[in-house]
Amino acid sequence: MNRHVPLRGIIGYTLTPFRTDGKVDLDKLQTLTGRMVDSGVHAIAPLGSTGCLPYLDDEEREAVAEATVKAVGGRVPVMVGVSSLTTERTLHHARFAERVGADAVMIIPMSYWKLTEEEIFRHFDTVARAISLPIMAYNNPATGGLDMTPEFLARLLEIPNVTMVKESTGDVGRMHRLRQVAGEEVAFFNGSNPLALAAFAAGARGWCTAAAHLIPELTLELYRQVVEKANLVEARKVFQQQLPLLQFIVKGGLPRTVSAGLELLGTEVGPLRAPLLPLPKPEVDALRRILGEASSHPM
Amino acid sequence: MNRHVPLRGIIGYTLTPFRTDGKVDLDKLQTLTGRMVDSGVHAIAPLGSTGCLPYLDDEEREAVAEATVKAVGGRVPVMVGVSSLTTERTLHHARFAERVGADAVMIIPMSYWKLTEEEIFRHFDTVARAISLPIMAYNNPATGGLDMTPEFLARLLEIPNVTMVKESTGDVGRMHRLRQVAGEEVAFFNGSNPLALAAFAAGARGWCTAAAHLIPELTLELYRQVVEKANLVEARKVFQQQLPLLQFIVKGGLPRTVSAGLELLGTEVGPLRAPLLPLPKPEVDALRRILGEASSHPM
Amino acid sequence: MNRHVPLRGIIGYTLTPFRTDGKVDLDKLQTLTGRMVDSGVHAIAPLGSTGCLPYLDDEEREAVAEATVKAVGGRVPVMVGVSSLTTERTLHHARFAERVGADAVMIIPMSYWKLTEEEIFRHFDTVARAISLPIMAYNNPATGGLDMTPEFLARLLEIPNVTMVKESTGDVGRMHRLRQVAGEEVAFFNGSNPLALAAFAAGARGWCTAAAHLIPELTLELYRQVVEKANLVEARKVFQQQLPLLQFIVKGGLPRTVSAGLELLGTEVGPLRAPLLPLPKPEVDALRRILGEASSHPM
Amino acid sequence: MNRHVPLRGIIGYTLTPFRTDGKVDLDKLQTLTGRMVDSGVHAIAPLGSTGCLPYLDDEEREAVAEATVKAVGGRVPVMVGVSSLTTERTLHHARFAERVGADAVMIIPMSYWKLTEEEIFRHFDTVARAISLPIMAYNNPATGGLDMTPEFLARLLEIPNVTMVKESTGDVGRMHRLRQVAGEEVAFFNGSNPLALAAFAAGARGWCTAAAHLIPELTLELYRQVVEKANLVEARKVFQQQLPLLQFIVKGGLPRTVSAGLELLGTEVGPLRAPLLPLPKPEVDALRRILGEASSHPM
């Protein structure tokens, strides 16, 4: 049976940088992606929330997927976000990702109208049948507007190539519940940054995080301490060290805060796409302080 | 000063019908629109939530806007929904609506990322400066994912051609609060069907409703009793008569329930666009009963 | 059949004043009560939320009930709050109220543990069987911690002497829903101050309010305009005039704000019972301004 | 400085049993308490939520506190719940607990009226000044109706003998946040049963649980695996084994489910106090199955 789970550890979510003329900056995207791979993360995930997926048009999405796969060059797995409001567009982008060499795709069901479970199931099932890549079902009601219960996620996992779940509700109880209903071997990943330690303790295979743009070494160290060494005392120490940054990027919104953080670290990443605005100055100052304290070297 | 408010009364929101090949059925759209005008509603609003705006591509949206203006033929005002996640696309559709002869446009700020008030304000301001049509600011956190307070809506109303507010939170207190902060003459409209009577009592200029597809005469009668005749006893009677239908279409989702209702009334409107599925059979049966009781004639 | 509904109009909720030694000030209570009757309200309700019921011991509760009935002297009906966490104590106070001559009792089911519907039903049923007074079932999840649906309230109303409902969720849709499930003749009362106009438009028999301590004439005028004259234009005007005060007393908590308001109007009512503290100074200043504007005469 | 923290590990919360005549059954209480101590728990906590504290009168509370201290006989620490709506009654019971030999007291701020932070602070401060025992500040908005932020809890911890926090919101992020604002050495305890593993991973000193009545060995084994052995793999195994029971007792309410569980295990504990009713039969059957599976021996 084909329960392929190509991911584990720190899955780095990449920002989509823009040029000053408003177009996607593919060169900068490849630089950022390459640098993140160099930092040691275990996988790369373009076109997620951090990548501003829903604000890009079809051509831009395809270009980002293709450029990312090239920049990674097979060094680590690439999981491409292919979500769209309609099933037809989701399917289109899933096929495109497969064609350009992605290792997995991620799908978050998105709402304008609240979807019924039957609608969400058919949405996944239709896309899953059209590709052979493994699919990560992504639950994040705060952005996608739809909430999938552990029981429903277990049902989705019965689709042969839906092999992974990403949980971003911030409720670690959901993860334990998922193990209860889908079996102890279920491959679930954490998408809620401030829950990183608790999720690994609960058995998460990996942590999907844009923090890998700013503090890759701390995210990797947490993984090492809690998963590889089972050293909870050290794990708590390294987690508390990065927690203010994790809280900050969640509270301020990933594109705004990660862009600002990258610029503080010396990399210009261009404007955000309207209506998104750059992080306000007082918050940039707060971020500078938090980033300095997390990395323990002056900025 | 240019505080043009071209709408009042029952503003009928039109469904976007599809053909069996998945394409938008413009002929059917014009038939439905013409019939709604004939029923006596005071205005027509294509490309709202009922019109499945976010599930249509750019060309489809333009075609629906243009076909609606033609079908209405100037008999009543037309307000076109022009919302999009990005400011650039919203602006594009607002200009298009103006060019084809719409009387107003409606904009709901939409989230994937939660927008700050500053971001929402600039979004509206940028679009408003590019057109001369009056704009209705639409607040509906349940679909758009963003909530605008009465205080913030009052700020939006300071933009010269943002002249109307549509409130769909279901909290009549918001309407009274809006009057407090934006002045007693503020032009607000109700978008929460089960709140129709309370909203008119609170001074709403109109009721934005897809129920006009199914029970136009009852929606009009409510307006007459509460606004024109100030007869609360009769208003309550006619409101309670239509309340089960209003509750039903809100609970089941407007596109699903209004499609099913139109078919029960004898008009085929084709499939919904995936991932949306048709109303399940038991709910269609419930709708048949509710519709029969509301209209007081057997179906 | 015995569906006695002894109340309508403005039901004034009285504060329980304390002496500086922490004891209940029964003389002051009688003065305040008598003055409220003189102001023209249609009924008096001691030992509600405003009366700090849950903070009083059994003897205090009995003394307040008895003193109120005496002070009113039969001029208007008196409804006594008799709620308690346990059924046994609720029953005790209900019997006491009946014995001292109350016209009705009010019961809010209270939670530490969330009660099941069966538990709430038996709670009401047990008390109802032990007295012959009409009972008002009071729904206010914000204070009592339990929410009763319209469907469940309709079930409670099948108990012969549970003849009235007080709805304080702030959702006027609940009132329309109650009419749907309990019949158009259901006697419901509004307990959410900022919903006063909407509730009367929905058919509420009365408005339960502590605002009668501060602006009795405005609350009475709203009743006259919307219920007796069906003049929505005037009703909106008088409602908007008192709305800032209604919002203020709800937001700041009734005992704190009503105490402060009474002192601003010249009546010392003593300290609150700890842990409740007096309204902070800046809020007292805000209240002075709001009260001055509502009553249109300088304070 | 006096930052005495007398508790750690599994803190067993005891049920208050009643006789068929409705009176508290002190003999049974002492039997249950003694048995829980024998099972190996690290501390005993009467008069918590499980002990139905708010449903008892003053004399009953005093009797339970005294009987518990005697039954424990100094073998493990005893923490007595002394909460009350009023500051005066809380203080009374805190003093009583100290007099009869308790090792600590627990206080949950309780709402009918929502308290301000200033009111809650003074409530704790007044009681803390009157006793010399260490105090656990208990945060559980679901039962007490008030929510205390980590920032506010850190402020409470500045009161010399408020030395412990019990967090029951179910959000492990609160615990990490508390460490951030109150220092890594803060003594916090988990009160949310389904969060037991995550809380220990986050550094909780102990787990406050009524599950110790039904599955003491499993709760103790979790503590050993996660805290003493830092074996997350085994910890997850033993946690998932008891999770269905933890979920069940939380969902059904502790007094109802723990009573039913004790009876299934062979100990009659009498009726609950009205309005609380016994666990319905179908749920008792579910509990029998869950309890059997958790303990891996037939019942």
Chains contacting C (3 or more CB pairs within 8 Å): B, D
Q: Which pLDDT belongs to residue A186? A: 97
Mean pLDDT, chain A, rounded, equals 96
Contacts 24+ apart (CB under 8 A), D56-64: D56/D16, D56/D24, D58/D89, D58/D92, D58/D93, D60/D16, D60/D24, D61/D93, D61/D96, D62/D93, D62/D96, D63/D24, D63/D26, D64/D16, D64/D24, D64/D26, D64/D29
The C-alpha angle with vertex B65 and arms to B59 and B70, in degrees rounded to 5, equals 125
C125 occurs within a structural domain: yes
Secondary structure (DSSP) of A102-152: -SEEEE----SSPPPHHHHHHHHHHHHHH--S-EEEEE-HHHHS----HHH
- D157-190 pLDDT tens trace: 999 999 999 999 999 999 999 999 999 999 999 9
CB contact under 8 A, D232 and A226: yes
Can you tell me the distance from the alpha carbon of C291 to that of C276, in angstroms, rounded to the nearest whole number? 22
Q: Which pLDDT belongs to residue A295? A: 79
User: What length does chain D have?
Assistant: 299
Can you tell me the distance from the alpha carbon of D67 to that of D84, in angstroms, rounded to the nearest whole number? 20
Contact criterion met (CB below 8 Å) for A157 and A163: yes
Can you tell me the distance from the alpha carbon of A164 to that of A174, in angstroms, rounded to the nearest whole number? 14
Contact criterion met (CB below 8 Å) for A64 and A46: yes
CB contact under 8 A, A202 and D202: no
What is the total count of domains within chain A? 1
CATH of the domain at A48: 3.20.20.70
Mean pLDDT of D118-127: 98
Distances (CA, A) of C66 to B78, B261, C37, C69, C90: 64, 59, 16, 5, 16
Interface residues from chain B to A (CB-CB < 8 Å):
22, 49, 52-55, 85-88, 109-116, 118-120, 122-123, 126, 142-145, 253-255, 273-277, 280
Mean pLDDT, chain C, rounded, equals 96
Of B110, B111, B274, the CB nearest to A88: B274
Q: Which pLDDT belongs to residue A2? A: 53
Q: Which pLDDT belongs to residue B296? A: 65
Q: Is A23 a catalytic residue?
A: no
Q: Which pLDDT belongs to residue C299? A: 37
Contact criterion met (CB below 8 Å) for B163 and B130: no
A282 occurs within a structural domain: no
- C144-191 pLDDT tens trace: 999 999 999 999 999 999 999 999 999 999 999 999 999 999 999 999
Report residues of chain C scoring pLDDT below 50.
Answer: 1, 297-299
Shortest CA distance from B196: residue in chain C: C173
Q: Which pLDDT belongs to residue B295? A: 79
Phi–psi pair at A167, nearest 5 degrees? -105, 125
Which of B18, B276, B283 is the best substitution to test chain A (most A C-beta atoms within 10 A)? B276
Can you tell me the distance from the alpha carbon of D123 to that of D106, in angstroms, rounded to the nearest whole number? 13
Closest Cα of chain A to D132: distance in Å? Answer: 32
Mean pLDDT of B207-221: 98
Of C195, C201, C226, the CB nearest to B197: C201
Instruction: Give catalytic residues of B, as residue numbers.
Output: 138, 166
Which one-letter DSSP state was computed for residue B11? E
Q: Which pLDDT belongs to residue B299? A: 37
- B73-85 pLDDT tens trace: 999 999 999 999 9
- B95-120 pLDDT tens trace: 999 999 999 999 999 999 999 999 99
What type of residue is C14? T
Count Cα atoms within 13 angstroms, Cβ side, for C293.
Answer: 13
User: Catalytic one among D13, D28, D166, D223?
Assistant: D166
Mean pLDDT of B122-129: 98
Tokens of B298: 């057997």
Closest Cα of chain D to A229: distance in Å? Answer: 10
D220 occurs within a structural domain: no
Which one-letter DSSP state was computed for residue B54? G
Which among C218, C248, C188, C249 is positioned nearest to C50, based on CA atoms?
A: C249
* Segments forming the whole domain that contains residue B39: 9-230
Can you tell me the distance from the alpha carbon of B255 to that of B250, in angstroms, rounded to the nearest whole number? 10
Tell how strand B104-107 and strand A135-139 pair up: unpaired
C295 occurs within a structural domain: no
Shortest CA distance from D244: residue in chain A: A180
CB contact under 8 A, D176 and A243: yes
Of B180, B230, B240, the CB nearest to C230: B230
Can you tell me the distance from the alpha carbon of C180 to that of C203, in angstroms, rounded to the nearest whole number? 12
Q: Which pLDDT belongs to residue C3? A: 81
Of D179, D198, D244, the CB nearest to A172: D198
Can you tell me the distance from the alpha carbon of C92 to that of D233, in angstroms, rounded to the nearest whole number? 55
Tokens of B159: 């933009």
Peptide bond preceding D275: is omega within 30 degrees of 0, i.e. cis? yes
pTM of structure? 0.96
CB contact under 8 A, C113 and D143: yes
Above 90 in pLDDT, residue D202? yes
Can you tell me the distance from the alpha carbon of D222 to that of D197, in angstroms, rounded to the nearest whole number? 7
Distances (CA, A) of D288 to C190, D214, D257: 45, 11, 11
Above 60 in pLDDT, residue B1? no
Show residues of chain D in contact with A183, CB under 8 Å.
none
Secondary structure (DSSP) of chain C: --------EEEEEPP--B-TTSSB-HHHHHHHHHHHHHTT-SEEE-SSTTTTGGGS-HHHHHHHHHHHHHHHTTSS-BEEE---SSHHHHHHHHHHHHHHT-SEEEE----SSPPPHHHHHHHHHHHHHH--S-EEEEE-HHHHS----HHHHHHHTTSTTEEEEEE-SS-HHHHHHHHHHH-TT--EEE--GGGHHHHHHTT-SEEEEGGGGT-HHHHHHHHIIIIIS--HHHHHHHHHHHHHHHHHHHHH-HHHHHHHHHHHTT----PPPTT--PPPHHHHHHHHHHHHHHHTS--
Interface residues from chain D to C (CB-CB < 8 Å):
22, 49, 52-55, 85-88, 109-116, 118-120, 122-123, 126, 142-145, 253-255, 273-277, 280
Which one-letter DSSP state was computed for residue D48? S
- Asked whether at least 3 C-beta pairs link D and B within 8 Å, the reply is no
Per-residue pLDDT in tens (0 to 9) along chain A, 299 residues: 458 999 999 999 999 999 999 999 999 999 999 999 999 999 999 999 999 999 999 999 999 999 999 999 999 999 999 999 999 999 999 999 999 999 999 999 999 999 999 999 999 999 999 999 999 999 999 999 999 999 999 999 999 999 999 999 999 999 999 999 999 999 999 999 999 999 999 999 999 999 999 999 999 999 999 999 999 999 999 999 999 999 999 999 999 999 999 999 999 999 999 999 999 999 999 999 999 999 764 33
Show residues of chain B in contact with A145, CB under 8 Å.
111, 145
Show residues of chain D in contact with A190, CB under 8 Å.
none
Of A86, A143, A274, the CB nearest to B88: A274
Contact criterion met (CB below 8 Å) for C79 and C11: yes
Which among B69, B55, B87 is positioned nearest to B26, based on CA atoms?
A: B69
Give D296's pLDDT tier (boundaries 50, 70, 90). low
Which among A272, A240, A267 is positioned nearest to A253, based on CA atoms?
A: A272
Which one-letter DSSP state was computed for residue A252? H
D179 occurs within a structural domain: yes
Contact criterion met (CB below 8 Å) for D290 and D248: yes
C130 occurs within a structural domain: yes
Chains contacting D (3 or more CB pairs within 8 Å): A, C
Q: Which pLDDT belongs to residue C219? A: 98
Can you tell me the distance from the alpha carbon of A243 to that of C250, in angstroms, rounded to the nearest whole number? 37
B190 occurs within a structural domain: yes
C32 occurs within a structural domain: yes
Chains contacting A (3 or more CB pairs within 8 Å): B, D
Show residues of chain B in contact with C198, CB under 8 Å.
172, 198, 201-202
Which among D247, D279, D293, D273 is positioned nearest to D60, based on CA atoms?
A: D273
Of C170, C179, C201, the CB nearest to B173: C170
